[in-house]
Each structure stands twice: as C-alpha cells, then as structure tokens.
Amino acid sequence: MKDFKELKVWQKAHVLAPGIYGETKKFPKEEIYGLTSQMRRASVSIGANIAEGCGRRSDGEFVGFLQIARGSASELEQHLLLARDLEIMSDHQHKILESQVLEVQRMMSSLVNSIEETSGRRTKGRVEQSG
C-alpha cells in the first residue's frame, strides 16, 4: 500500500477534522461530553481508518477500513444536522462542513470502487491464466 498521506481522500479528511474541532469550540459547555465529543471522535475516525486501512496487507482489508471510515462520515453528517437543528451551529457553517463530509464520502466510494475493480481484474486474470 502507498503512504496514506499521499491519498487525496485522507488529505481532505485531515482538513475536515480541525474544522470540526474549531466549530465545536463554539458549542455550549454542556455539550462537551455530548455532541462536541461525538463530532470530534467521528471526524478523527474518518482519517484514522483511512490511514489504518492503508497500512494493511490486502486490498480487501483496506476496503473494510474505508467502509468503517464511510460509516464515521455518515455519523458525522447526522451530528452536523442535529447541531444545526438544535441551533448550536449556523446554517451557513453546517453547509460548509456538510459539503466537506459529502466530498470525502464520494471520494471514499470512488476509491472503494476503484480497488474492487482492480482486484476483480487481477482475480479474473489469474483464473484465465490457470485454465
């Protein structure tokens, strides 16, 4: 696997996490163990799972970690909606962060599809050669 820091999807996820930290600093103090903590954890989890998957031995394992990262991105998307609906985040800031999350989700989906297509071609090639 290549260095995770070279992956554009990891780079986008890495920019997203500090953005979430910055926005949640503005949240009410009573949310520190609630929504603030959950949003920060989910945002960090996206990049961490991409990095961990990149360090695994097989494409299948990498895809599994990308799927976990996509789950964390979906969780973060839900938390952003809740923060907006509770009016502890402005609609404008919600739109900015949501667009970043959606971009990361699309990039992860594309990467998973690319890996699966490449792995499928390799498997077909081996089967055809051995027959």
Instruction: State how far the Cα of 115 lies from the Cα of 131, in Å rounded to an integer.
Output: 25
3-state secondary structure of 57: coil
CA pair distance 102, 97, nearest whole angstrom: 9
Q: Is the pLDDT of residue 1 over 90?
A: no
The pTM of this model reads: 0.87
The pLDDT, as a whole number, for residue 126 is 38
Q: Give the tens place of pLDDT for each residue, 33-91.
A: 999 999 999 999 999 999 999 998 889 999 999 999 999 999 999 999 999 999 999 99
Mind listing the domains of the chain with CATH numbers? 4-130 (1.20.1440.60)
The answer to whether the CB of 1 falls within 8 A of the CB of 56 is: yes
Three-state DSSP state, 28: coil
- Hey, how many other C-beta atoms are within 10 angstroms of the C-beta on 130? 6
21: buried, middle or exposed (CB in 10 Å: 19+, 13-18, 0-12)? Answer: middle
How far is the C-alpha of 64 from the C-alpha of 99, rounded, in Å?
24
